[in-house]
Amino acid sequence: MIKRIVLIESGVTNPGSFVYHVYPPHGLMYIAACLRAQRPEIEIKIFDLMIRKQPETAILEELKEFSPDLAGIHAMHFQAKFAHRAAAMIKDHLKVPVVIGGPYPSSDAETALADANIDLAVRGEGEITFVELVERLDRGQDLSGLAGLSHRKDGQLTNEQDRELIADLDQIPFPAWDLIELEKFFDWKVLVQNELRWQKEVATIFTSRACPYGCIFCHNMFGKKFRARSPENVVSEMRLLHDKYGVREIHIIDDCFNFELERAKQICRLIIASGLDLKLAFPNGIRGDRLDRELVDLLKAAGVYKLTVGVESGSERVQKMIRKNIDLEKLKANIEMVAKAGIFVHGFFMMGFPGETAAEIEQTIAFAVSSKLHTAGFALLKPFPKTRVREIAEEMGKRVSFESEDATYTQLACNLSQVSDEQLLAYHRSAYWKFHFSPSRLWRIFWATPRKRMLPRVFWAHLRTKFL
């Protein structure tokens, strides 16, 4: 009989590892909320070792005291090493079934389950799969046919069919915010996926799932069909966070918040009408060529002070090749429109794409420098498992190698471009210097930064990840 379940958000094994963003463990909180709705008698405990910044052994005594009947571990790729160590500890000391979920096992279940300490892997959206898994384990039923599950059967890895994606996101309960230590994220020193912060009482939310665009470097965790919560549902969670948990700033971390333009506008209108005194940011990026004046004005009125746009490349050929297909001319005009509205704008760029030439890399740098972006990040391509760009790398006979716990995108994992490794690294370094260290850019950053005392922190984050 399953009476207690522990859910663990993996950390990193090297305390000195730099992780760009830390935010509440939404995946585990959603699973906990769905499990509560179906099995309220089960006691659930979440250990978030990203925010606690502790090794897995630090919670051993707490785990023993809780005495769970089942353990679930969430891991992204940079958390994989930690997840395996946590699984080993649980097996050694608690001897209960271990389930792993998240982007890492979703894209590479074979590697995850090669570890005998991990019994089961939940792929993709985990809410329904995990609840059904608990039901079957509780009843001692066979796991065959359980959609979204990977497991061993007769000693062989078995990947059951993919789980159908959840169509109506409003049917999912709000995340179990009460099971985490949200106040830990209120520390100014915590980078909640955003080097800027207006208020210290911050939380992150998803208002939609999936991005319908086909970028070759992206994971496919939530599929390609855009699915969205209703504006009313979104603002209800914002009110809960504001009224019950004292949140005063919300970072929306959707893959493509503004895919449905009218829905995005309606969310803003409801926030304005609600009277909630919130500051908002979009650190994860929005589709920059899907903006109009009305939406920008509504974003500003709703409390948005920062948004990020994914540019990736300033070359039209590369845009088509990577299947981003963004309208660069419209994007540049929209960046200027957003900046003029008084919203801080950050841009994401990437280098090292298949067949990318020196001229195309220079086009990317030129686009960034000539734009009205306030800050920019230039990533080196990382071909993650089960992405199209990883397949291209393998077809090209390229070796992919990167430190599993590096989450900065500043280390060269695999150069698929036409320039040498040395040239690519030189372009990468010069992009930051050319973009950020000009008097006009520095002046614009100074005036656009909401809290001037945060300027040293912003520049230290850039220096640490890009130059040191």
Residues 6+ apart with CB under 8 A from 362: 427
What does the pLDDT read at residue 1? 86
Q: Is residue 171 assigned to a domain? A: no
End-of-domain residue from the set 159, 189, 223:
159
On whether residue 329 sits in a domain, the answer given is: yes
**Do residues 72 and 33 make contact, with C-beta atoms less than 8 angstroms apart?**
no
Which residues lie below 8 Å from residue 99, measured CB to CB, with a gap of 6+?
A: 70, 71, 72, 73, 118, 119, 120, 121, 122, 130, 133
Report yes or no: 399 and 339 within 8 Å, Cβ to Cβ: no
Please check whether residue 173 lies inside any domain of the structure: no
Is 185 inside any structural domain? yes
281 in the same domain as 213 = yes
pTM of the model: 0.91
Same domain for 337 and 448, yes or no, is: yes
Structural domain contains residue 361? yes
CATH number of the domain enclosing 272: 3.80.30.20
The answer to whether residues 192 and 128 belong to one domain is no
Domain containing 9 equals 4-159
Residue 67 within a domain: yes
Nearest to 327 by CA among 338, 313, 337: 313
Q: What pLDDT is recorded for position 217?
A: 87
Q: Where does 179-246 show beta strands of DSSP type E?
A: 202-205, 208-209, 227-228
Instruction: Note whether 204 and 114 are same-domain residues.
Output: no
3-state helix, strand, coil in the chain (%, to 5): 40, 15, 40
pLDDT score for 462: 55
Can you say whether the dihedral through the CA atoms of 162, 106, 348, 397 is positive or negative?
negative
Residues 108 and 207 in one domain: no
Is residue 151 domain-shared with residue 207, that is, in the same domain? no
CATH code at 118?
A: 3.40.50.280
Tell me which DSSP letter residue 79 carries: G
**376 secondary structure, DSSP code:** E
In a domain? residue 129 = yes
Residues 203 and 330 in one domain: yes
Tell me if 14 sits within 8 A of 144, measured CB to CB. Answer: no
- Distance of alpha carbon 419 from alpha carbon 322, whole angstroms: 18
Model pLDDT, residue 408? 67
- Same-domain check for residues 147 and 186: no
Any domain includes 109: yes
Q: Which residue among 128, 159, 190 closes a domain?
A: 159
- Please list, in sequence order, all residues whose beta carbon lies within 8 angstroms of the beta carbon of residue 334, skipping any fewer than 6 positions away: 288, 289, 291, 296, 309
List per-residue pLDDT tens for the chain, 468 residues long.
Answer: 899 999 999 998 775 555 557 889 999 999 999 999 999 999 999 999 999 988 999 999 999 999 999 999 999 988 999 999 999 999 999 999 999 999 999 989 999 999 999 999 999 999 999 999 999 999 999 999 999 999 998 888 999 999 999 999 999 999 999 999 999 999 877 765 556 788 889 999 999 999 888 898 887 777 778 999 999 999 999 999 999 999 999 999 999 999 999 999 999 999 999 999 899 999 988 999 999 999 999 999 999 999 999 999 999 999 999 999 999 999 999 999 999 999 999 999 999 999 999 999 999 999 999 999 999 999 999 888 888 999 999 999 988 886 666 666 778 888 999 999 999 999 999 999 999 888 888 878 777 777 666 666 656 555 555 544
pLDDT value for 468: 45
Pair (10, 144) in one structural domain: yes
Are 242 and 368 part of one and the same domain? yes
Domain count along the chain: 2
Instruction: From residue 425, give the alpha-carbon distance in Å to each of 65, 217, 349, 418.
Output: 50, 19, 14, 13
pLDDT at 459: 60
Do residues 126 and 215 share a domain? no
**100 and 155, same domain (yes or no):** yes
